[in-house]
Amino acid sequence: MKVLELPSSLDYRGIEELMARAVSAEPDKLLLDGRRTRFVDPAGMIGLLGVGRFLRNRGAERVRLQMDPAAEVAGYLARMGFYRASEGILEFDTPPERARGRSSDVLLEITSIAENQDVHALVEHLQERAGSILSKTLHYPPSAVVQFSVILSEVCQNILEHAGAPGWVAAQTYQWSRRLGRQVLVIAVGDLGRGFRGSLESEHAGRFGARWSDSTALEAAFIHGLTRFPDQGRGQGIQQIRKQVRRWGGVIAVRSGSARIADTSEWEEFPPLEEGLADFPGAWITILLPEADPEGGK
């Protein structure tokens, strides 16, 4: 059995390391060794599911995940519904203990998105809870609930309209003491579909010619609002999400294929554009929304 070691911090940054290892791994019986992992965020959890499914799709006979049962992260994964979501993707030595109750800072446990009714049910289910976290935890105005629902709906619709494959979404708040000193809501969405390049190719690749790539496809959608629809005004979800996240002082990063594009912030800097990453399928979106600045800004 071949071993792929998980990073100690499996967040939206650490998952990149695991994706690179997965891409270069030989399809075989594989062990994802997470015994040294001490932190996982929604992007890490969804990315881990994606890595497991990717390895299975490439012909891995088994993909087993091993965590330290005594570490807090094992219980957190259960509380976020990770083990339930991993059925048919990952295997475990012993059935993990199911978490009791629900953490007050969990906005959305890992949820599978496979059809339109999943999106509608998700948004309807989260209205009250999202309002509580946005107002009491992040101190956003009441109007933010509707705007947040639109964001959540758009990122989930991205899975259905562009991926051609099911995906996952999850969200939770964290206290970012060292980097920001405030609460941050982390939202993660991911899928193993055709990605932005594959989605936009038939409509837009011709105008870019030899420059067409994962990075130019991301720039086309993220910055210029180009979509796979020939009629102007349809499907501009990512660009509109970017604008709203910026109004709230947040950060959004989109990884697809071998590239990642991001809006940066003084409190959490992503490189604006990264190329030459491990060529991992699908689209992986991370959104970070900070608590409103008590001084009146973001």
pLDDT band with cut points at 50, 70 and 90 for residue 232: very low
- pTM higher than 0.85: yes
pLDDT > 70? residue 101: no
**Which DSSP letter does residue 48 get?**
H
Share above pLDDT 70 across residues of the chain, in percent, rounded to a whole number: 90
Q: What sign does the dihedral 136-46-265-269 (CA atoms) show?
A: positive
- pLDDT top residue among 234 and 47: 47
Q: Give the model's pLDDT for residue 268.
A: 82
pLDDT in tens, 25-60: 988 889 999 999 999 999 999 999 999 999 999 999
CATH number of 105-298: 3.30.565.10
Mean pLDDT of 61-81: 90
- Evaluate whether 1-98 and 105-298 have a shared fold: no
pLDDT band with cut points at 50, 70 and 90 for residue 177: confident
For the chain, give every domain's residue range.
1-98, 105-298
pLDDT in tens, 179-197: 778 999 999 999 999 999 9
Cα within 13 Å of Cα(85), Cβ side: 27
Q: Give the model's pLDDT for residue 100.
A: 46
Give the closest residue to 220 by CA, choosing from 207, 155, 233: 207
Ranking 90-99, 193-202, 227-236, 245-254 by mean pLDDT, the lowest is: 227-236
> b or e along 63-95 (b: 16 or more beta carbons within 10 Å of the residue's beta carbon)?
bbbbbeeebebbbbbbbbbbbebbeebbbeeee
- pLDDT top residue among 201 and 105: 201
Q: Which CATH architecture does the domain made up of 1-98 adopt?
A: 2-Layer Sandwich (3.30)
Q: Give the model's pLDDT for residue 28.
A: 86
